[in-house]
Every structure is written in C-alpha cells, then in structure tokens.
A = this chain, B = another copy of it.
Amino acid sequence: MKPTILRTVAELRREIAAFRRSRPPEAASVGFVPTMGYLHEGHASLLRRSARENGLTVLSIFVNPIQFGPNEDLDKYPRDEERDVALAASCGVDLVFAPTVREMYPQRRVTTVTVSEVTEGLCGASRPGHFDGVATVVAKLLNIVQPDRAYFGLKDAQQAAIVARMAQDLNMPTEIVPCPTVREPDGLALSSRNVYLSAEEREQALSLSRSLAQVPAWIAEGVSASELSERLRREIGRSPLAQIEYAEALTYPDLLPPDGGAPLRGVEGQLLVALAVRFGSTRLIDNRLLNPKEAGVEACSAK
C-alpha cells in the first residue's frame, strides 16, 4: 500500500495520534527511520525491520541544512522523492514525513543539542558543528514522532553512538536500535554519496571494505591500535585516488582510544575500526564493529 505523505508537523502528529488511539497499547508501537532521502538498500533494511517490529512505521526525508558545513555538499545532495516513496511503499512504510526547511526551522533557531566527547574524534574532528546539527535535528524529529523505536544504520557508527548517548542522557522515551551496514556484492558500503563516484573511483573505493576485512586477522596477530592504523593506511594507500582522512580503532560506544601500545585483542567490549577516505570531492566512510575478546567476531551481524 502507498504510504501517506505528510508535509507538516501538525498533520503527522494527527496521523500518529489516530493510529495510537486505534489500537490497544501493546499493538500500537511506532517505529521511525530518519533519513536525508535518496534511499538505498541500507535504508530499506532499516525500514523493513521497523515494519516487522512495529504497528506503524514512519520514514522521514529531510536534508537537514544545519548538519552541513559551509563548504559541504548541501546544495548538490542527491534527491528523488518519487523513487524514495516507491521504495518506502515496498518496505511497508505507513507514513512519510517530508517537511520543508521552513517547517522544521520556522523561526530563528536558538536551541542546540550538543554531545561532547563522543563527537570529538573521527568525523567530528573534520566536520565542526556537524554532530550538533545531527543531534539537534534528531532530537526534533524524535519529539515530533515520539516513536517507541528509532533505527540507525551502523555505517554511521559514530552517529548511532551519539544518538544513543543523547537519548540516554536526555531520558528520551525511545529505544535507539543500531542496525548492520548493508554492502554491495563486491563489499562497498551503501551510501547515497556513492552516485558521485567515477568508475575508477568506484573501483578504488573497494579498498575500504577490503582493508577492513583483514582487521580480524590482524587483531588475532596481536597488533596495537597504532599498528592497526598504519596497516589500514598502507593498504588503502595502494589506491592512488584515495586521500585518507582517518583510519582508527576506538572503543564503542564511548569512542575512546584504547590503551596505546597494547594488543587490541585484549580490549574488553566492542571495538570500532573506522575509516573516512576522500575520492576527489566525495567523502566515504566505512567501519567494522568487533568483539576482540571473541576472536574478532563481528559485533553486529545482519538480521
């Protein structure tokens, strides 16, 4: 069935309230997938999971200006609402919330949600203000939809960690559900930005997933965080078009550096190995989340 498209906060709230009233509480759960649109199979996996786990699934499509820096790709960010709605329909989405910028920011905004520490490394270092923009818009969207569960892809592992931490710290009544990265058959992590890649860049971009695939073996060998970083850089560096921004191992979800020189296989809990690499003007990220104590077993496998 075709989802209903809503452009205003008031309309969306009315639809969700009507749904909640129509069901007994145990069958009235609402699942939510916030996106910037231009959906791919990664988003589809979140939407299908939400549709399986909830009575109502809400998709938001909003290219959020306040999370883009002045020299970033806001204007050229790809958009195709018609295709997005068709994909949403096939995934069991009930409501699509696609507001204008004016609807989301009707007046001069003076309120910002800031998450410290978890935002400082990785993408936070090179994109000042980016995660304030993400945290603020996600707080707004969660307040608008008031879902029982919200689904975030682990391709943006730092973003998922930030949102989970914000929801905890602010006592938001929503469960933040992290979901595994979806990949092309050759290993490239799905991203709306992949469309920017030339054929040659697309080929060389495989160095991200290829190098990450070797991480469990390297950890089993006993590499430290700095050795792992070096090996990743060397491996990716073989692709001449790749400009590495970071290649790092951090504890998850706190995103703190593990003990410098010690072998990573001794790390308790989860370890995030994360990459950001530019190909021309296109910035790609990818990562693997591992349990080093369990011999590098992938921490989050596809459901």
Contact = CB atoms under 8 A, between A and B. Distances in A.
Interface residues of A, number: 32
Contact of A111 (B9, B111, B135, B141): B135
Contact of A170 (B21, B140, B168): B140
Given A139-B170, A143-B172, A111 B114 contact: yes
Contacts of A140: 169-171
A300 interface: no
Interface stretch (A115-123, A152-160, A260-268): A115-123
Contact of A110 (B107, B115, B136): B115
A109 interface: yes
- Copies of this protein in the complex: 2
B171 A143 contact: yes
A29 interface: no
Contacts of A117: 110
A62 B279 CA distance: 52
A170 B110 contact: no
A192 B171 CA distance: 28
B115 A114 contact: no
A128 to B, nearest CB: 16
Interface of A: 9, 13, 17, 21, 25, 107, 109-118, 135-136, 139-141, 143-144, 146, 165-166, 168-173
21 contacts: A9-B171, A110-B115, A110-B117, A110-B165, A110-B169, A111-B115, A111-B165, A111-B166, A111-B169, A112-B113, A112-B114, A113-B113, A113-B170, A114-B114, A140-B171, A141-B171, A143-B170, A143-B173, A144-B171, A146-B146, A146-B173
